[in-house]
Amino acid sequence: MKVTVIDYGLSNLLSVQHAFAHFGAEVQVTSSPADVLAADALVLPGVGAFQDGMQGLEQLGLIEPIKQKTAQGTPLLGICLGMQMLFDESEEFGLHKGLGLIPGRVVRIPDVDADGSPQRVPHISWNPLYPAGGRADFGGTVLAGVKPGEECYFIHSYEAKPAEDADRLADTVYGGRNVCAAAAHGAVVGCQFHPEKSGEVGLRIIEQYLALI
């Protein structure tokens, strides 16, 4: 199987490559629109600011190829910043348009918890995953190999909030609030956490994604 990882200048490429190669996947890292259009499956990783990420995609001519492929049903996995860019827009440093592949908006994690006490942002921690969107478990999703309550590694200051509750795959609890940890809309899946840095649990998620291709 072949996985095409999109490089737009803000990506944590090495850990992503290693994670997919661990399961025998052929990994292509590319900034080429032609490679994206020829892909069997896409991965959009990333670390950094939303606006910078979208500008990187635009400058490389990658936005329309990504939209075209997902409209054709090609699987796409967004990781961390990659997940945020799947949404309609982000409030980070102003209002910026995203890829619009998952309805919803990216907003800042509050500086205070649900009780009004100060909390640290950015959030850097291992957090548990719990089924969301009315699900009793993760069956039938890219998280099918995860048991509710198992932890993954998070590092972020903004959260993506799906407009449709059915698009929420998983939540985590931070500051007494449910924060969307994973979302999906058709063949487009986003993980706010870093599956490639989340040990055995993360590897199970990547393995399940490959099984869905």
Give CA–CA dist 81/96, Å, rounded: 13
The active-site residue out of 92, 159, 196, 207 is: 196
Closest-CA residue to 190 (of 198, 199, 200, 181):
181
The active-site residue out of 80, 152, 180, 191 is: 80
Q: How far is CA 68 from the centre of its chain?
A: 19
Residue 92 falls in the annotated catalytic set: no
Beta strand 2-6 with 42-44: parallel, antiparallel or unpaired? parallel
Count the neighbouring beta carbons within 10 Å of the beta carbon of residue 59: 12
The active-site residue out of 18, 194, 200, 207 is: 194
Residue 194 falls in the annotated catalytic set: yes
Cβ–Cβ under 8 Å, residues 167 and 103: yes
Q: Which residues are catalytic?
A: 80, 194, 196
